[in-house]
Each structure stands twice: as C-alpha cells, then as structure tokens.
C-alpha cells in the first residue's frame, strides 16, 4: 500500500469522518460477531454436548465474538439460561442442569428480526444473531434436524449442511454412498432393531470371522 493511500485512510469517529494524523492509518474497529452457541439436546449424548459447549465457549475470543448460550434440555425444550449463573459452572460443566432453567424460547422458522421469542410472553428475547454454532451430539442435533430449522430461519450456522449431516448420521447410508463412489470401505453388516434374533450372532461370525 502506498504512503499516499495510507494517508487517505479514515475512520468514522462520533459520526464524523476524520483523517488519520501523522501518516499513521487508523484501522476501523470491527463489530463483534454475535454468536449463538446451541448445546444440550434430546439425545443420549446430552451431557457430552454440555461439556463440549463450555470448551468452545472458553476457546472463543470474546474481543471478537459476543456469545449467547442457548440450551436445549433433555426433553427438547429450548432455553435461554441465566448466562451469569451458567458460566459459574463453565470449569465444571457436568454440574450444569438445563432442566432447572425457567425461560423457554422458540426459534422462529422463518426470517425475522426477532429470531427467538419467549414462549411464555411472546416478546422478543434474542435477535440479530450473525451465526449459530451448534455444539450438539447425536440425534436431534447433528443429524440435519437443527440444521434444517436454521435453514428455514435463514440464519447462517457452523458445520455441515442438512444433507451432509443427515447422511453422516446414518452410517449405513454413508457407507453405501461411499462404496458407490468407488471409495474403499470396510466390510459391514447393518443390523436393524426389527431384525434382531439369536441367529444374528452366528451370521456375524460367518460373515466376518474372528478377530473382527
């Protein structure tokens, strides 16, 4: 960048454009990105998600990101936890119990300035998320369901999209797609709940042999 160009650099201060003094450019301050950190969920991996979310929260640079924690309790209820109380347990996240939170919220499934509303009084609770960071494990979280909701709400999010999430959650479908694309996969036997019977073990022995 030329010296002349550096001298032309300006920033807006108190509503007025002021030129940098002494030939030293003043870089405009970046607005913090508003991040919604969604965690918890209905799956059996609820507790793991809580631990992961606190790890992500601790790693995010608070000088760059304005982080709001949005919890989902084991029944699937979306909550806006008391942020101060919740963060007192961030070093020991296994003590966090989302089902004790009171404020139930709902994410609107369409584009709206009021992205999240309180279920109880229908007033705006959270708005203007720049991005949602789902830190969810297992079903109802990393299987494309939440991703689909965020697509409907037209809110950008971190991670795989609806199709990629749903395919990777179903290991048998993922294996078949990889095999059809000519990508080597290990020998697999998919067993469905309705097919479970005493003979399945013998069938597995004949298919794979020992050791597996």
Q: Tokens in use for 29?
A: 């301050």
CA-wise closest residue to 125 among 133, 116, 137:
116
Reported as a single tens digit per residue, the pLDDT across 64-87 is 999 999 999 999 999 888 776 777
Whether residue 200 is predicted with pLDDT greater than 50 in this model: the reply is yes
Mean pLDDT computed over every residue of the chain: 81
pLDDT of residue 126: 76
pLDDT of residue 120: 78
Q: Are 49 and 137 in contact (CB under 8 A)?
A: yes
Angstrom distance (rounded) from CA 108 to CA 97: 25
Task: Write down the pTM of the prediction.
Answer: 0.75
Give CB contacts under 8 A, 24+ apart, made by 77-80. Answer: 77/104, 78/104, 78/105, 78/106, 78/107, 78/116, 79/103, 79/104, 79/105, 80/105, 80/116, 80/118, 80/125, 80/126
């Amino acid at each position: 960048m030329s010296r002349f160009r550096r001298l032309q650099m300006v920033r807006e201060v108190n509503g007025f454009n002021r030129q940098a003094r002494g030939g030293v450019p003043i870089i405009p301050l970046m607005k913090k990105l508003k991040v919604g950190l969604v965690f918890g969920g209905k799956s059996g991996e609820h507790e793991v998600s809580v631990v992961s979310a606190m790890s992500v929260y601790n790693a995010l640079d608070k000088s760059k990101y304005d982080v709001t924690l949005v919890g989902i309790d084991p029944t699937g209820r979306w909550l806006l936890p008391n942020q101060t109380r919740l963060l007192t347990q961030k070093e020991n996240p296994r003590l966090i119990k989302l089902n004790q939170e009171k404020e139930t919220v709902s994410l609107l499934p369409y584009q709206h300035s009021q992205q999240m509303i309180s279920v109880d009084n229908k007033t705006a609770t959270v708005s203007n998320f720049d991005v949602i960071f789902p830190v969810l494990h297992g079903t109802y979280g990393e299987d494309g369901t939440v991703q689909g909701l965020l697509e409907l709400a037209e809110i950008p999010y971190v991670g795989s999209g609806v199709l990629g999430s749903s395919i990777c959650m179903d290991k048998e479908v993922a294996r078949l797609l990889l095999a059809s694309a000519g990508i080597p996969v290990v020998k697999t036997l998919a067993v469905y709940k309705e097919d479970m019977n005493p003979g399945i073990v013998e069938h597995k022995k004949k298919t794979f042999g020992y050791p597996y």
